[in-house]
């Protein structure tokens, strides 16, 4: 069946006027719309105010003369003030919501030539938001020497991806934004690059909370700062970037630091304190290690991000603060919920946009570009340009990218390593002797105290618990811990440990299997990641 063309537009209370026979010598856009031989309007939805009912009827009669096949339907919308944006948008939104659009069999065109500028803006917003599945129709009057004539028309599709030059520009801007989030580092890991691309989309389009997970030193703080800087560049935030490490907040001071307090709220409260949440108004609040917050602080944070309101310590009235939250953690929050240490409702709110940053050893192909980045940072910081000689660079990269390189503190380890070599480099050139010295130091740094698995398990379990374990359990647990530390998340470690058995199961939950195994020894993922038992 042939598709129908449906036009929608206002009666032009000025441009469409005319009753005498000489009206045919004037250009009237609504009538001219139906006079184009190469654009047949099957149906015209004519919107009008009750005060111009007669004009609408005259237009329908004239359209019947020039285009008998065009059906004209009246849609009465009475506007008290056609220049009131809120009123016009609400009226057109109601019209769109009540209209039986059938995009499978009809093409829709909104005529923006008639109506106020406010109406034109509202049409654009409704089409852009897909409330109206239409293209924009713009009519142009004929030149004086072309009278009488219907003039010209142009059709504009707001789907900008259809326009090659605009689409190319958007792609370039997106590439620039993702490069900005990566600090200009030409990273090579495909999964990481895809994740950064998705973060760029979310950061620009959403004000919802973001959750950044991953091991210590994976770059959560730096990425949060870059997200803020990107939003600032796009004029999406005006307030500051406020960062706090929740692991440093303890006891009553945590509530005061986050939510502020009133003078006299407790001993030592000599004056009002706004708190970090109010300081972040209009900007971005980064709560690093959010898994370390206590239950009361978690409850208030949830209320603050949902309602933008909270109660300072010692206050009788709530205060407001509108900020975007970015949370970071190296803990397995799902495990913390099972242990009763983290609120599941807060996790559900944070987990709308969750991104797991891989550790450096999971992105070994990115070590070389990050090595160059660290050298540039050193030069900017110290004002000294340092380079490797060819043999030294090859030797360092061979070590850094080998499976045996643990990079326990991830990019912090790499940054510290480059700083040490650059500082000691004779005449600004890192040679092989320095690389040998540095790689020996890193191996010693990564080696557990006491040698073998005993030192690693001793730090996790304590010497008494370790002595009470059978050798069989010690050997097995030490290997599980080693595998865990090679992966950034509980799920990734579970997949590696149960790679064979998982293929024979209809439903797999490797993370749960690993979590239960660790729990037999009183361990959890955060304990493994931190390298030591959590103080009780």
Q: Report the distance separating Cα 357 and Cα 215, nearest Å.
A: 8
Least confident of 35-44, 73-82, 138-147, 375-384: 138-147
Task: Name the one residue in this structure whose structure tokens are 């040698």.
Answer: 451
| Closest to 536 (Cα-Cα) out of 303, 334, 341 | 341
Decide if domain 4-158 falls under CATH 3.40.630.30.
Answer: no
- How many other C-beta atoms lie within 10 A of the C-beta of residue 383? 7
pLDDT score recorded for residue 298: 92
pLDDT band at 337 (very low <50, low <70, confident <90, very high): very high
List the beta bridge partners of residue 139. Answer: 153
What pLDDT is stored for residue 353 in this prediction? 94
* Contact predicate 338/297, CB 8 Å: no
CB 321 within 8 A of CB 280: yes
Q: What is the model's pLDDT at position 84?
A: 94
Whole-number Å distance between alpha carbons of 413 and 487: 16
Mean pLDDT of 185-192: 86
Token couple for 395: 């030797």
| Tens-place pLDDT, residues 477-502 | 888 888 887 776 788 888 888 877 76
Residue 274, classed as helix, strand or coil, is coil
Alpha carbon separation from 218 to 193, 273, 407 (Å, rounded): 15, 33, 10
Q: CATH code for 361-446? A: 1.10.8
Q: Count the Cβ atoms, other than its own, within 10 Å of residue 212.
A: 26
Q: Do domains 167-356 and 361-446 have the same CATH topology?
A: no
Residue 70 pLDDT greater than 50, yes or no: yes
Q: What is the pLDDT of residue 167?
A: 56
pLDDT at 509: 80
- Give pLDDT, residue 121: 94
Half-sphere exposure of 534 toward its Cβ, with a 13 Å CA cutoff? 15
Angle between helices 295-307 and 252-259 (to 10 degrees): 10
Asked if the model's pLDDT at residue 181 lies above 90, the reply is no
3-class SS at 389?
Answer: coil
pLDDT tens track for 279-295: 999 999 999 999 998 88
Q: How many CB atoms lie within 10 A of CB 229?
A: 15
Give the largest Cα separation in the chain, rounded.
Answer: 108
Check: CB of residue 272 under 8 Å from CB of residue 262: yes
Whether 535 shows a pLDDT value over 50: the answer reads no
E strand or H helix at 74:
strand 71-76
- pTM here? 0.62
Q: Structure tokens of 182? A: 């990566």
**Whether the Cβ atoms of residue 343 and residue 297 lie closer than 8 Å to each other:** no
Q: Could you tell me which residue, 32 or 20, shows the higher pLDDT?
A: 32
Q: Residue 451 above 60 pLDDT?
A: no
pLDDT at 344 exceeding the cut of 80:
yes
Buried b (16+ CB within 10 A) or exposed e, 339-363: eebbbeebbebbeebebbbbbbbbb
CA distance 233 to 227: 10
Please count the CA atoms within 13 angstroms of the CA of 386 that sit on its side-chain side.
30
Mean pLDDT, the chain, rounded, equals 86
Average pLDDT over residues 125-154: 84
The answer to whether 176 touches 69, Cβ cutoff 8 Å, is: no
Dihedral angle, C-alpha 101, 106, 109, 115, nearest 10 °: -40
CB-CB contact of 118 with 84 (8 Å): yes
> Of the candidates 276, 259, 277, which has an alpha carbon nearest to the alpha carbon of residue 314?
259
- 167-356, what's its fold? Rossmann fold (3.40.50)
Q: Are the C-beta atoms of 257 and 249 separated by less than 8 Å?
A: yes
What are the extents of the domains in the chain? 4-158, 167-356, 361-446, 453-530
- What are the residues facing 245 on neighbouring strands? 288
- What gap in Å lies between CA 527 and CA 480, rounded to an integer? 13
Instruction: Check residue 448 and give its pLDDT.
Output: 58
Contacts 24+ apart (CB under 8 A), 79-88: 79/49, 82/49, 82/115, 82/116, 82/118, 82/119, 83/116, 83/118, 84/118, 85/118, 85/121, 85/122, 88/116, 88/118, 88/119, 88/122
């Amino acid at each position: 069946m042939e598709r129908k063309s449906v036009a929608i537009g206002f009666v032009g209370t000025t441009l469409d006027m005319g009753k005498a026979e000489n009206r045919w010598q004037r250009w009237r856009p609504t009538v001219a719309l139906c006079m184009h031989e190469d654009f047949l309007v099957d149906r015209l939805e004519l919107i009008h105010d009750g005060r111009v009912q007669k004009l609408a009827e005259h237009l329908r009669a004239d359209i019947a003369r020039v285009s008998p096949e065009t059906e004209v339907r009246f849609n009465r919308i009475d506007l008290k003030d056609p220049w009131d944006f809120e009123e016009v948008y609400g009226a057109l939104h109601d019209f769109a919501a009540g209209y039986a659009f059938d995009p499978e069999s009809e093409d829709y065109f909104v005529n923006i030539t008639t109506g106020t500028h406010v109406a034109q803006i509202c049409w654009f917003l409704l089409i852009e938001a897909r409330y109206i599945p239409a293209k924009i129709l713009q009519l142009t009057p004929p030149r004086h020497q072309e009278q009488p004539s219907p003039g010209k028309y142009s059709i504009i599709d707001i789907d900008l991806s259809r326009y090659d030059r605009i689409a190319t520009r958007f792609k370039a801007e997106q590439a620039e934004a993702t490069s900005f989030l990566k600090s200009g580092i030409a990273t090579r890991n495909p999964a990481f690059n895809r994740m950064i691309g998705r973060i760029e989309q979310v950061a620009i389009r959403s004000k919802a909370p973001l959750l950044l997970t991953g091991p210590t030193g994976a770059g959560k703080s730096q990425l949060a700062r870059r997200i803020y800087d990107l939003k600032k560049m796009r004029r999406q935030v005006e307030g500051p970037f406020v960062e706090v490490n929740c692991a440093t907040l303890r006891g009553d001071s945590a509530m005061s630091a986050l939510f502020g307090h009133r003078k006299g709220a407790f001993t030592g409260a000599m004056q009002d304190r706004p708190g970090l949440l109010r300081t972040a108004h209009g900007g971005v609040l980064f709560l690093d290690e959010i898994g370390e917050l206590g239950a009361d602080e978690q409850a208030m944070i949830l209320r603050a991000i949902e309602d933008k309101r909270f109660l300072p310590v010692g206050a009788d009235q709530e205060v407001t603060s509108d900020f975007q939250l970015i949370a970071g953690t190296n803990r397995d929050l799902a495990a913390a919920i099972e242990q009763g240490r983290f609120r599941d409702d807060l996790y559900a709110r944070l987990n709308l946009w969750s991104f797991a940053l891989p550790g450096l050893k999971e992105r070994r192909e990115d070590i070389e570009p990050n090595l160059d980045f660290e050298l540039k940072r050193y030069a900017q910081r110290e004002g000294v340009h340092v380079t490797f000689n060819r043999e030294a660079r090859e030797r360092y990269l061979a070590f850094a990218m080998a499976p045996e390189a643990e990079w326990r503190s991830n990019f912090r380890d790499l940054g510290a390593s480059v700083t040490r070599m650059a500082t000691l480099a004779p005449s600004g050139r890192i040679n092989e002797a320095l690389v040998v010295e540095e790689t020996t130091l890193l191996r010693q740094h990564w080696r557990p105290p006491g040698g073998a698995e005993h030192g690693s398990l001793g730090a996790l379990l304590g010497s008494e618990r370790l002595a009470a374990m059978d050798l069989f359990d010690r050997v097995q647990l030490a290997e599980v811990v080693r595998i865990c530390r090679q992966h950034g998340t509980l799920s990734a470690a579970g997949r590696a440990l149960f790679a064979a058995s998982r293929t024979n199961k209809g439903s797999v939950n490797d993370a749960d299997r690993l979590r239960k195994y660790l729990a037999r020894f009183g361990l959890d993922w955060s304990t493994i990641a931190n390298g030591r038992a959590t103080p009780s």
